[in-house]
Amino acid sequence: MSKIKVLVSGYTGRMGQAILQALKDHPTLEYIAGLDVNNMGDEAFNLVRKADVVIDFSSHDSHPLLTEACRAPKTPIVIGTTGLDDQQEVIIKDTAAEIPVVKSSNFSTGVNVLFALTKVATELLGDGYDPEIVEYHHRLKKDAPSGTAKSLAQVIATARQLSPEEAARHGRKGIVGARTKNEIGIHAVRGGTIVGKHDVIFAGPREVITLSHEAEDRAAFALGSLRAAEWIIGKAPGLYDMQDVLGLRQR
């Protein structure tokens, strides 16, 4: 049985290199080509046509062209690129109407279990517990807060029927007044070589509950993206995420 042909966009970056390492000797997936800023042009369209699936951990600058390249040959795409603006998010939704797309802020299995646990905790604890999110990443990470932190805030906001944009408090400074029950605190720490850590804190009356996940190696994210690449083959057009891939959506 032939292997699934994988094109990796952003293959020269930290995540791209982790994915290439994970693809070595993979039983069902085969790396055939990579894209970066040097060949993200007409060559991208030619390379995408040769692939069965694209895994994308590139930059927000090159993203519109990549999604366009995937549409014509109907090549499924797994998107891990973060820092996308509203217009790019619309492009992805439009693309998902024509081809299957898995988009996730974090491909780690553990983090996606954290999403599910955060939803359950929010629903069970109610608004008597104050949610705060603290995310930690390496000093070179360009966007803040992390995509994972935004997703965690979205989970909490949805469970509490809040607007994530209105509820979010990105750090606090000065005389900000007493905390309200409709706030979701989000705090970004940058330093050293931290791969990624996320704490979800629920501070209640006389007790604090903390849900925490820490990635020790980028291999955790890489393996999750490969799992998504296997899963997406043969799926109908649509916008999916790792909750779908892991079967957590129905739980």
- Model confidence at 250, in pLDDT bands (50, 70, 90)? low
Q: Is the pLDDT of residue 84 over 90?
A: no
Q: What is the set of active-site residues?
A: 137, 141
Q: Using the predicted structure, report yes or no on whether residue 57 has a pLDDT greater than 80.
A: yes
pLDDT, position 23: 95
Note the pLDDT of residue 36: 85
Residue 248 has pLDDT above 90, yes or no: no
Q: What is the pTM of this model?
A: 0.80
CA distance 127 to 204: 9
> Over the chain, what HEC string results?
CCCEEEEEECCCCHHHHHHHHHHCCCCCEEEEEEECCCCCCHHHHHHHHCCCEEEECCCCCCHHHHHHHHHCCCCCEEECCCCCCHHHHHHHHHHHCCCEEEECCCCCHHHHHHHHHHHHHHHHHHHHCEEEEEEEECCCCCCCCCHHHHHHHHHHHHHHCCCHHHHEEECCCCCCCCCCCCCEEEEEEECCCCCEEEEEEEEECCEEEEEEEEECCCHHHHHHHHHHHHHHCCCCCEEECHHHHCCCCCC
Domains of the chain: 4-103+218-245 (3.40.50.720), 109-215 (3.30.360.10)
Q: How confident is the model at residue 105 (pLDDT cuts 50, 70, 90)?
A: confident
Asked if the model's pLDDT at residue 204 lies above 80, the reply is yes
Examine the pLDDT at 20 and tell me if it is beyond 90.
yes
Summarize pLDDT for 113-139 with one digit per residue, the tens.
Answer: 999 999 999 999 999 999 999 999 999
Task: Name the average pLDDT for the chain.
Answer: 92
